[in-house]
Homo-oligomer: A and B are copies of this chain.
Amino acid sequence: MIIALSGGIGGAKLARGLYRVLPADELTVVVNTGDDFEHLGLHIAPDLDTLVYTLAGCNNPDTGWGRAGETWTFMRVLAGIGGESWFNLGDGDLALHVERTRRLRAGERLATFTEDVRRRFGVHARVLPMSDDPVRTLVATDAGVLAFQHYFVRERCVPRVTGFEFAGAGAARPCAEVLAALRDRSLEAVVLCPSNPFVSIDPILSVPGIRAALAGCAAPVVAVSPIVGGDAVKGPTAKMMRELGLPVRAAAVAARYADFIDGFVLDERDAEEAGGIAMPVSISDTLMRSDVDRERLAGAVLGFVRTLGATR
């Protein structure tokens, strides 16, 4: 069994690679829910849905989020009656939000709903939220403290970042299946996907018990760099690092995880950083433009993990 920790788009690409190279039912993806928010009275869970769509192969490859072949009638009419239209929701995507909202209100766990949905989509990997409890990423900026989607979508990441908060994290319990998976004897490795360290991985680590479980885990834990050639592939990772006064370098990401990871996968464009990373490093082409790329990187990560497993 392999566990992958992932945010949305970038992380989902490697999760898909792992999904395609591993036997059925041998992958568990633990997903950031710090991006979740209540919008239009609905519980929106962007990263969970991105994972399900990406693993099922029905994601929209152009936008990176949402479904392929989507229609947009709902948003058009909503805007026409004066509803909030800054967060775009496709008609098919909306089915998950409406049904999730209804079932959570009826007392169902977010994990149960998500597991049901990924099965309905024919996905043979577990897709688990980091917690069933609400944890909400807040971005402290020069324009004030913004809810994550307000920062990310409405303000298009323009405000200058000064820090992050994960509201609710203190009281949140980790998803029971996540802790159990981290303790399972059949666990071979934990892979941190190349997701944003601040707003994708850190929210997962903010849930009490998860960071300690990773540090105490019997299997090797490796992270794949979200920095490629001294920049982020997509999204605000590099901008955030600059604004926080960090060097935009893979080594700075590795250092953030140093207390619980056993190895780091560096992009070949950043190979010169290897000497500055105080742990085993594997060098790969980490750009994933196609499923072939995703499978190749997944294979390389699994190969790297096996060399570490022998030494832990």
Contacts and interface: CB of A to CB of B under 8 A. Distances in A.
Interface of A: 40-42, 67, 70-71, 73-78, 80-83, 90-96, 98-99, 101-102, 105, 116-117, 120-121
Nearest to A113: B81
Q: Looking at chain A's contact residues, is the secondary structure mostly helix, strand, loop, or mixed?
A: helix
Contacts of A94: 74, 77, 91, 94
Contact of A42 (B67, B75, B98): B98
Which residue, A71, A81, A96, has most C-beta atoms of chain B within 10 A?
Answer: A81
Contacts of A91: 71, 73-74, 77, 91, 94
Contacts of A99: 40, 78, 81-83
B41 A116 contact: no
Contacts of A90: 73
A42 to B, nearest CB: 7
B120 A80 contact: yes
22 contacts: A40-B99, A41-B101, A41-B102, A41-B105, A70-B73, A71-B71, A73-B73, A73-B90, A73-B91, A73-B95, A74-B95, A74-B98, A76-B92, A77-B93, A80-B121, A81-B99, A81-B120, A82-B99, A82-B116, A83-B99, A91-B91, A91-B94
Contacts of A98: 40-42, 74, 78, 83, 98
Number of copies: 2
Contact of A102 (B40, B77, B96, B105): B40
Contacts of A41: 98, 101-102, 105
B96 A77 contact: yes
A71 B77 CA distance: 12
Given A73-B91, A91-B73, A82 B40 contact: no
Given A41-B105, A73-B70, A96 B117 contact: no
A96 B81 contact: yes
A288 to B, nearest CB: 27
A102 B97 CA distance: 14
A99 to B, nearest CB: 5
Contacts of A96: 77, 81
A117 B82 CA distance: 9
B73 A92 contact: yes
